[in-house]
């Protein structure tokens, strides 16, 4: 303990000890700033299934992620856009959004909507963000997409 107190004594600190102290303070400051920045930039979302399990979702701000259900996108002049999203287990949720949607918005697109809950399965969104996926998967029923058959011997098209 005495050595620690001697080391911390403000009398003549050697140049090396001052450098170590400055380095430690700088490291702690940078780590603190990084932690604060990371926590404020994280954006979590719930699935429609998790949203449906909440006891009282009404009135609170939510981020909900799901796929846009084909055939549910309704755009009317002067009215907010309406569509439904679906979770992995099939739970659906109605979304109304009065704004410009991203260019890649469409059926089967995975979106994260943020807004105010208006009921047990309805959200009035203030933002719609497309969550990009690392795999491109075509819909087998889409006849406009050409998918070459793979050669059994080489595995390439």
Residue 84: name the closest of 108, 103, 100 by CA. 108
- 57 and 25: one domain? no
The answer to whether residue 111 sits within a structural domain is yes
Domain count, the chain: 2
* The pLDDT of residue 42: 63
Q: What is the pLDDT of residues 48-87, one digit of tens each?
A: 888 888 756 666 788 899 999 999 999 888 778 899 999 8
- 77 and 29: one domain? no
Radius of gyration, CA atoms only, the chain: 27
pLDDT at 118 over 50: yes
- 7 and 75: one domain? no
| Domain containing residue 80: CATH number | 2.40.50.140
Average pLDDT on 103-119 reads 87
Centroid of chain to Cα 51: 15
- 36 and 83: one domain? no
The answer to whether residue 85 sits within a structural domain is yes
Output the CA–CA distances (angstroms, integers) from residue 86 to 16, 48, 67, 98, 106, in the order listed: 61, 7, 5, 20, 13
Per-residue pLDDT band for 156 (boundaries 50, 70, 90) equals: very low
Q: Average pLDDT over the chain, rounded to whole?
A: 79
- 22 and 76: one domain? no
- 32 and 68: one domain? no
The answer to whether residue 64 sits within a structural domain is yes
> Whole domain around residue 9: which residue ranges?
2-41
The answer to whether residue 149 sits within a structural domain is no
pLDDT at 127 over 60: yes
The answer to whether residue 94 sits within a structural domain is yes
* The pLDDT of residue 20: 87
Per-residue pLDDT band for 96 (boundaries 50, 70, 90) equals: very high
Place of tokens 């003549």: 12
The answer to whether residue 57 sits within a structural domain is yes
CA distance 144 to 141: 9
* The pLDDT of residue 56: 65
């Amino acid at each position: 303990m005495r050595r620690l107190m001697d080391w911390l004594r403000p009398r003549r600190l050697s140049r090396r000890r001052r450098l170590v102290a400055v380095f430690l303070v700088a490291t702690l400051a940078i780590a603190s700033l990084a932690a604060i920045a990371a926590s404020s930039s994280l954006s979590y979302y719930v699935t429609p299934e998790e949203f449906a399990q909440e006891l009282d979702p009404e009135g609170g701000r939510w981020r909900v992620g799901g796929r846009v259900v084909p055939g549910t996108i309704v755009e009317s002049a002067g009215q907010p856009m309406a569509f439904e999203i679906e979770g992995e287990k099939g739970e659906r949720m109605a979304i109304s959004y009065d704004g410009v949607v991203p260019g890649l918005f469409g059926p089967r697109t995975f979106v994260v909507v943020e807004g105010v809950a208006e009921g047990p399965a309805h959200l009035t969104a203030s933002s719609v963000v497309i969550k990009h996926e690392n795999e491109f998967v075509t819909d087998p029923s889409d006849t406009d997409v050409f998918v070459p058959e793979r050669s059994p011997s080489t595995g390439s098209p």
